[in-house]
């Protein structure tokens, strides 16, 4: 007879076993496995005897007394959270990119010739290059600030990084959009760096508001170990070069003519 494993017995005892009825049947027939289960149960029952102190009947009131003075900011509904200025700014930046790409497509699509299609792609890419360049610049500044952060006083037990954390949250949303766009555009190199940046932003966004100097050092080491600042700088430089190279040569197309006539 094949016995039930220790893992299966523990899963059975903790009610997470998938083949519960099969184990029950085996236990009914197998004394050895029953004894093994009893040994496991004896340990768990001993643990159950560990007391939990009674915090007292008015504990709830005590907790309220402690926290009530600290409940200063009114909680917001989820949709109010999205109306916060910083989130609106991030959403605005993303919307601006979409609108710019759409307008660029419309403007260059007139006529529908092969050249115009190519031009439409170029303009879209230019919009992406400018927007991502700006995003990388913001990310770089935030990471540099975080890398240089240090306690004001050597005795300080915690460092407040809530500002960097909030910026990382905003950058994270933008980063996801740019990474997906870069992937759609077939720019695997850019998508890969944005992916790495996303992981770092995620780490920062999920850090506690207050970190100990040791935790701060760990975050800084992680940023350094991934070499993300260097990669961001290199890609940003490349994007600038791409932007310069794709600047249209002055030509007498419709839009420039129209602009000039407005001056």
Partner 1 sequence: MNRMQQSVDSTQAIAESDAIAVERTLAGDRDAYRVLVERHSHNVFRLAYRMTGNRHDAEEVVQEAFLRGYQKLGQFAARSNFGTWVYRIAANYAIDRMRRRQKEDARREAPRTDGKDGMEDDPLNRVKDEAPTPERLTQSIELRKQMEHALAALSEAERTAFVMRHWEGCGIEEIAAVLKSSSNATKNTVFRAVQKLRIALQPFVETRAQARAMGTES
Contacts with partner 1 by CB under 8 A lie at 6-7, 10-11, 13-14, 16, 39-40, 42-44, 46-50, 52-53, 55, 59-61, 63-64, 66-68, 70-71, 73-78, 80-81, 208, 212, 214-215
- Of 59 and 102, the one with the shorter C-beta distance to partner 1 is 59
Q: Shortest approach of partner 1 to residue 69 CB, angstroms?
A: 11
Nearer to partner 1, 64 or 230 (CB): 64
Q: How far is the CB of 154 from partner 1 (least distance, A)?
A: 16
Shorter beta-carbon distance to partner 1: residue 214 or 263:
214
CA torsion, ordered 101, 105, 107, 108, to nearest 10 deg: 130
Q: What is the separation of C-alpha 259 from the centre of its chain, rounded to a whole number of angstroms?
A: 42
> Minimum Å distance from CB 46 to partner 1?
5
CB nearer partner 1, residue 46 or residue 249 = 46
Nearest approach in angstroms of CB 33 to partner 1 is 15
Give the whole-angstrom CA distance, residue 216 versus residue 146: 9
CB of 80 to partner 1, least distance (A): 6
The string over 34-72, giving b where at least 16 C-beta atoms fall within 10 Å of a residue's C-beta and e elsewhere, is: eebbeeeeeeeeeeeeeeeeeeeeeeeeeeeeeeeeeee
CB 195, min distance to partner 1, A:
19
At closest approach, how far in Å is the CB of 58 from partner 1? 9
When the beta carbons of 161 and 190 are compared against partner 1, the nearer one is 161
Give the count of beta carbons closer than 10 Å to the beta carbon of residue 108.
20
Measured from the CB atom, is 65 or 106 closer to partner 1? Answer: 65
- Whole-number Å distance between alpha carbons of 106 and 254: 13
Cβ closer to partner 1: 161 or 235? 161
């Amino acid at each position: 007879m094949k016995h039930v494993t220790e893992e299966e017995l523990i899963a059975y005892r903790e009610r997470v076993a998938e083949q519960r009825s099969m184990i029950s049947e085996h236990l009914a027939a197998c004394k050895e496995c029953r004894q093994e289960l009893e040994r496991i149960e004896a340990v768990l029952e001993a643990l159950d005897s560990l007391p939990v102190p009674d915090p007292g009947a008015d504990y709830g009131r005590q907790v309220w007394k402690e926290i009530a003075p600290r409940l200063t900011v009114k909680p917001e509904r989820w949709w109010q959270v999205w109306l916060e200025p910083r989130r609106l700014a991030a959403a605005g930046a993303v919307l601006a990119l979409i609108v710019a790409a759409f307008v660029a497509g419309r403007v260059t699509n007139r006529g529908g010739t092969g050249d115009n299609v190519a031009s439409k792609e170029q303009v879209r890419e230019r919009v992406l290059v400018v927007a991502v360049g700006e995003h990388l610049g913001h990310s770089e500044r935030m990471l540099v600030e975080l890398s240089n952060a240090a306690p004001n006083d050597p005795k300080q037990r915690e460092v407040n990084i809530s500002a960097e954390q909030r910026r990382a949250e905003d950058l994270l949303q933008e980063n996801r959009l740019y990474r997906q766009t870069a992937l759609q555009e077939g720019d695997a190199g850019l998508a890969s760096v944005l992916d790495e940046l996303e992981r770092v932003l995620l780490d920062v966004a999920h850090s506690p508001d207050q970190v100990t100097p040791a935790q701060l050092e760990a975050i800084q080491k992680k940023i350094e170990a991934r070499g993300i600042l260097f990669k961001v700088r290199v890609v940003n430089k490349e994007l600038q070069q791409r932007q310069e190279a794709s600047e249209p040569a002055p030509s007498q197309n419709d839009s420039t003519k129209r602009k000039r006539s407005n001056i």
